[in-house]
Amino acid sequence: MRKYGTILLEEDDGIAIVTVSRPDALNAINEAVLDDLGIVFASIKLNNNIGAVVLTGEGKAFVAGADITAMSIMGPLEARAFMKKGQEVFSTIEEFGLPVIAAVNGFALGGGCELAMSCDVRFASEKAKFGQPETGLGILPGFGGTQRLQRLVGMGNAKKLIFGAETIDAWESYRIGLVQKVCQPESLMEETIAFARLVASKGPVAVRLSKAAINAGASTDIRTGCAYEAEAQSIAFSTEDSKEGLTAFIEKRAPEYKNK
C-alpha cells in the first residue's frame, strides 16, 4: 500500500483500491484531497496491470462532504477556484479510462455524494447515508451535484433532495437509482472488489470503449450516440482481444485477453 498525502493506494491482483484517508475529519474534501486524488488517478493510468478501480473512504465515512471550516473563510473568487478544481478532478474520475466503482461505507454527503456520483457504479453499505445538504448552509452543490444527480435519479428526485437538503439512507438511494447494490457493512468491500474483478475479467478494450460510448451518449441525442457506438465497435473489431473473445466463444473456452 502506498500513501499519497491524504489518499491510500493499494493494488490487489489487478484492482486498484483508492481510499480517502482523513478519518479524523470524516474524510472531508479540501484542496489537498483534490490534489492527491488527481495524482493517484494519474499514477493508475500509467499502470497497465490495473483492470478496474475501487474508491472508498477510511473509517466510518466515505466522504462526509467538503471541508466546511476551509470553505467558511473563502471569498467568491476562492470559492469559484475550489469548485472548479473539484469539478475537474471529479470529471477526471468520470472520464477515467477504467471503470471506477464506489464502495460507500458511511456518510456520502455534499462533496462525498458528488464524488460517489462521478464513479461508474455505486455499492453501498446499509449504514451509508447520501445527500446534498448545501442549501441548508446557504450555498449549493458545487462539485457537479446539480448536474450529475439529475442525470442519475431524474430531475424531480434531484430537486427534492437538493432543495430540501435531504439525507437519505442506502435503501432509498437504491430505490431512486443512485445506488446499484446495497450490502451488509461487513461484506461491502468484498462484494465491491468481486464486482471489480468481474469487470476486469472482460475484454479490457471493450470495457473502456463501452464506458466512453455510454458517457458520450448521455449528453447527446440517440442518433449521435449510436453513431459514436458504431465507431467504437469498429475500433473493438480491430483488436486482438475481439478475435480472441469471439474465437473462444466458438471453441467453448474462456478467453485470454491481452489488452490489445
Q: Strand, helix or coil at 84?
A: helix
Are the C-beta atoms of 140 and 134 separated by less than 8 Å? Answer: yes
Query: Rounded CA gap, 199 and 164, in Å?
Result: 36
Q: Is the pLDDT of residue 1 over 90?
A: no
**Residue 186: active-site member:** no
What's the average model confidence in pLDDT over 161-173? 97
Q: From the candidates 95, 114, 231, 240, which is the catalytic residue?
A: 114
pLDDT tens column, 206-225: 999 999 999 999 989 999 99
Q: How confident is the model at residue 67 (pLDDT cuts 50, 70, 90)?
A: confident
- Tell me the C-alpha to C-alpha distance, in Å, between residue 37 and each of 6, 24, 44, 147, 152: 8, 18, 11, 21, 23
Query: Which pLDDT does position 187 carry in this prediction?
Result: 98
Q: Does domain 204-250 have CATH number 1.10.3720.10?
A: no
User: Do the domains at 2-200 and 204-250 have one common CATH topology?
Assistant: no
pLDDT of residue 205: 94
- Provide CATH code, domain 2-200: 3.90.226.10
Residue whose C-alpha cell reads 472482460 in the numeric block: 202
Domain definitions of the chain by residue range:
2-200, 204-250
- The answer to whether residue 259 scores a pLDDT higher than 90 is no
For 129, half-sphere exposure in the C-beta direction (CA atoms, 13 angstrom radius) is: 13
Question: Buried b vs exposed e over 10-48: b needs ≥16 C-beta within 10 Å?
Answer: eeeeebbbbbbbbeebbbbbbeebbbbbbebbeebeeee
* 256 given a catalytic annotation: no
**Sheet with strand 15-20: strands edge to edge:** 2-4, 7-12, 15-20, 52-57, 100-104, 121-125, 181-183
Model confidence pLDDT, tens digit, residues 99-158: 999 999 999 999 999 999 999 999 999 999 999 999 999 999 999 999 999 999 999 999
As a whole number, the mean pLDDT across the chain is: 95
Q: What pLDDT score was predicted for residue 260?
A: 84
C-alpha grid cell, residue 15: 484492482
List the catalytic residue out of 134, 190, 191, 240.
134
d(CA 198, CA 185): 21
The Cα 22–Cα 19 span in angstroms is: 9
Helix (H) or strand (E) holding 151: helix 145-153
**18 close to 56: Cβ distance less than 8 angstroms:** yes
Q: Are strands 121-125 and 100-104 parallel, antiparallel or unpaired?
A: parallel
Cα–Cα distance measured from residue 21 to residue 35, given in angstroms and rounded to the nearest whole number: 13
